[in-house]
Amino acid sequence: MEPAIKFPHRSPEKMKAQHEQAVTDIKAAIISKLTLGVGKDAAQATERDWFLATALAARDRVIHRWLAEERATRAEGRKRVYYLSLEFLIGRLISDVISNLGLTDVFRDALGDLGVDFNRLQAAEPDAALGNGGLGRLAACFMESMATLGIPGSGYGIRYDHGLFRQVIKDGWQHEYPENWLSFRNPWEFARPEVIYDIHFGGRVENTTTPRGTQRAVWHPEERVEAVAFDTPIVGWQDRHVNPLRLWSARAPDPLRLDAFNRGDHVGAASAQARAEAISKVLYPSDETPAGRELRLRQEYFFVSASLQDLVQRHLRDFGDLHSLPLNAAIQLNDTHPSIAVAELMRILIDLHGMEWSEAWQIVVGTLSYTNHTLLPEALESWPVPLFERVLPRHLQIIYRINSEHLKVAEEKFPDDSDFLASVSLIDEHHGRRLRMGHLAFIGSHRINGVSGLHTDLMRKTVFSDLHALYPDRIVNKTNGVTFRRWLNQSNPGLSKLVREACGDVYSDWTRIKKLDEYANDSAFLEKLAAEKRANKVALAKVIRERVGIVVDPSAMFDIQIKRIHEYKRQLLNLMETVALYNAIRSNPNRNWAPRVKIFAGKAAASYKTAKLIIKLANDIARTVNDDPAVRGLLKVVFLPNYNVSLAECIIPAADLSEQISTAGMEASGTGNMKLALNGALTVGTYDGANVEMCDNVGDDNIFIFGLHAHEVEECRAIGHNPGAIIAKTPMLAEVIESIEQGVFSPDDKSRYGELMAGIRNSDYYMISNDFASYAEAQRKIDQVWHTPDVWRRMCVHNIAGMGWFSSDRTIAEYAEDIWSVPV
Ligand code: 26V
């Protein structure tokens, strides 16, 4: 679908002629790239060759705009935004680029003329899976929105050789395999072999006094690694603006020790190279071993140091003086992973540019800001002091000084309160001396933001309550959003067309989508909406059959839970309710059940045993239910392997029901919730994360909310809740637990889920027992609504219409105004 009414003054004949000319040009460009860029004839070209040629032809159409925008930013001295993130979960880029250029129909027709199917060609692009989940995907949506809004923004991250692992399900269990996204060349990126920075590690610090009597620290590192830049252009909607995503690759300064090689030590001769290159080898290496943790710290410092050196150099080139850095640059830290930036920027200003401490500190705080994405204690980063000192001795000194200045301020404001000081200190003395990276990021930033209203509120009340007392103006909320260009226009072109016919170009102006509310009682519109949903479900049913061999009926309700597998996200609650439904259908097959297909997808961290067991349970339940003729036609369960951005693009448009059922207070925001509602799914969810604001935007009657609220969860935990008593009072739940623990779904290993179920009986930290009855009740209410299609469809319309505010354009505009001080 092309941008709406691009040439309002042109006649249809003229537009047709123009289209034909464009198709001719693109055809020639693709053939030229195939021949000269890929080295293939059309007759020998594989799908991958066609993808490469097409991507190269599309990329050519971006470069001039990119260079022009960069020239203008420089000439006008515009403030730049730097988004530092260890993760960018981009997925495929081809349809992003071509559709934002407004050339989808042109490329489709050009390729068609060449005998190539555009959809199949798109599938030949490997996903850039440089992220784990929500945090990384948010960074990708933000990059696209910054480009769309014309904000001069650069992303900085790591060019991992291997992104997130490929998940293979064997006999129901998850296995991990390396992802090789770069093995067939990445046509989007530009290697910049001339943009290289030295990154240092280890060694010692020499403290000297200059002849003038000032103290100076000189770091004598023991190791040097090179960071090499690779740039990917990120195109905004209608090609208005293009921004770079600069990813760093690690390289050893000396690839080979020739003396060792000539002695015959072929492996040892390359060991320094292997150690250096390990830094950009894999995303989020296992942190189960000390070596893994150290590598993670090296990754963080590596990309932060390279990025800061790069932006400081650019600032000096453009403005000549580092004192104006906060005026001309805003650096956003995506979670604590880049928080070493606080100490590194201080080091650059003081050690390398001779600045005074307090002057440097003002610049750092004025330039940096930090986004928190989770309150889970196990996910809050901290580093053991001895490890940190070994890797970054000079930074430890700087952090100690930051801490002592910070504690002076704290002591002045809250005198004689040692508990308060211990709680705001950058050093946690309780767990064997660790550096609290969240605290470091907080102290070094002028703004700290949460990612939904509830999450921000909890930040103020829990993990950062004492720091908040010290700096009450710093914490602000910036509720997450998603880019509608990818998550509606590209992934669901049929629905996108309907929305645009009704509302106009919602991709330039998200407020327009609200107009869809006016169509909620338009039966012709509701029919068209239903037809689009049906077509998407037919397409997903095909994918399900091809990938897992299960046949599902597109007229059943597609009930979807897709996200990382984590106990707090409670896939287990969904599975247990599925078992309850299975039991109920078996004992009462003739009731007026709403036929359902329960679809799960998601990866578990390789070392997360319980999450992997939950995947196995999903597959065990799927096998049992799908093989049982008693429920045939009424219930199917599917676990789709290897969830990634591309699979999400295929599942989300086909969803009827969106499961957002985390334990209240634990999901910072969620963004899948927004994508699914935008695609016309109804939400069953807890009052958690951005679900709360979704309620406000779609209206309480158009969303199914159940379960404890965050404060109730806290109260329950405080008084010590009693799952045993709840289970005893809830026969349906008791039956589910018994059947799972007795091995009904695991006849080959009856005790497989004994411990998992004992966890619920005994402690139930995630409150499955507390929420079970209210969840099951919500599901039966959903069945009722499903039986009245008009009501269901009307609710879908209100959901789509209510999602405007969840555009990442809104989120980014708020960051621009309240945090970055850049014009939009
Ligand atoms: C990380 C870890 C790592 C150690 C084991 C447990 C654990 C649990 C959670 C996490 C999440 C890290 C940060 C993150 O990805 N947060 C997600 O950020 C999204 C974008 O803001 C947000 O929508 C999700 O709710 C939030 O979980």
668 lines ligand 1 (CB under 6 A): yes
Architecture of domain 484-806: 3-Layer(aba) Sandwich (3.40)
373 is an active site residue: yes
* pLDDT at position 431: 80
545-593 pLDDT, tens digit each: 999 999 999 999 999 999 999 999 999 999 999 999 999 999 999 999 9
H-state helical runs in 432-522: 437-443, 453-461, 465-470, 484, 493-503
* pLDDT at position 452: 98
Instruction: Sort 725 into a burial class: Cβ within 10 Å, 0-12 / 13-18 / 19+.
Output: exposed
Residue 495 tokens, joined: 């629905």
Whole-Å CA distances, 80 to 72, 396, 423, 561, 656: 12, 29, 35, 38, 41
* pLDDT at position 1: 40
Q: What's the 18 CA to ligand 1 centre distance in angstroms?
A: 48
Whole-Å CA distances, 727 to 33, 571, 735: 65, 19, 9
pTM of the model: 0.97
CA 670-676-677 angle, to 5 degrees, is 95
Q: How many CB atoms lie within 10 A of CB 649?
A: 18
Q: Is 241 left (phi over 0), alpha (psi -120 to 50) or beta?
A: beta
Q: Whose CA is nearest to atom 5 of ligand 1?
A: 379
Q: How many CB atoms lie within 10 A of CB 169?
A: 18
Q: Token match 């259908």: residue?
A: 585
Whole-Å CA distances, 281 to 130, 180, 229, 247, 553: 11, 11, 15, 13, 43
* pLDDT at position 408: 98
Residue 540 tokens, joined: 């997903």
* pLDDT at position 213: 83
Q: Whose CA is nearest to atom 3 of ligand 1?
A: 379
522-542 pLDDT, tens digit each: 999 999 999 999 999 999 999
Which of these is catalytic: 40, 281, 564, 810?
564
For the chain, the residue count is 824
- The residue ranges of the chain whose pLDDT is under 50 are 1-5
Torsion of CA 811, 803, 767, 173, to 10 degrees: -90
379 lines ligand 1 (CB under 6 A): yes
Domains 77-92+127-480+812-820 and 484-806 share a fold: yes
Half-sphere exposure of residue 770, counting CA atoms within 13 Å on the CB side? Answer: 25
Residue 64 and residue 122: Cα distance in Å, rounded?
24
Q: What's the 667 CA to ligand 1 centre distance in angstroms?
A: 8
569 is an active site residue: yes
Residue 738 and residue 580: Cα distance in Å, rounded?
11
> Domain 77-92+127-480+812-820 adopts which CATH fold?
Rossmann fold (3.40.50)
Q: What's the 374 CA to ligand 1 centre distance in angstroms?
A: 5
* pLDDT at position 4: 44
Residues in contact with 220: Cβ distance below 8 Å, sequence separation at least 6, in sequence order: 203, 204, 205, 206
Backbone torsions φ then ψ of 491, nearest 5 degrees: -80, -25
Residue 34 tokens, joined: 């195939």
Residue whose CB lies within 8 A of the most ligand 1 atoms, among 141, 373, 451, for a mutation test: 373
675 is an active site residue: yes
Q: Token match 């600032």: residue?
A: 315
* pLDDT at position 287: 63
Residue 510 and residue 493: Cα distance in Å, rounded?
17
Domain regions of the chain by residue span: 17-76+93-126, 77-92+127-480+812-820, 484-806
133 lines ligand 1 (CB under 6 A): yes
* pLDDT at position 61: 96
Instruction: Go through 603-627 and write b for each residue having 16 or more CB atoms within 10 A of its CB, e for each that does not.
Output: bbbbebeebbbbbbbbbbbbbbbbe
Residue type, 724: G
676: three-class secondary structure by DSSP: helix
Residue 741 and residue 760: Cα distance in Å, rounded?
11
* pLDDT at position 627: 97
The closest alpha carbon to 622, from 681, 585, 582, belongs to: 582
Residue 270 and residue 280: Cα distance in Å, rounded?
16
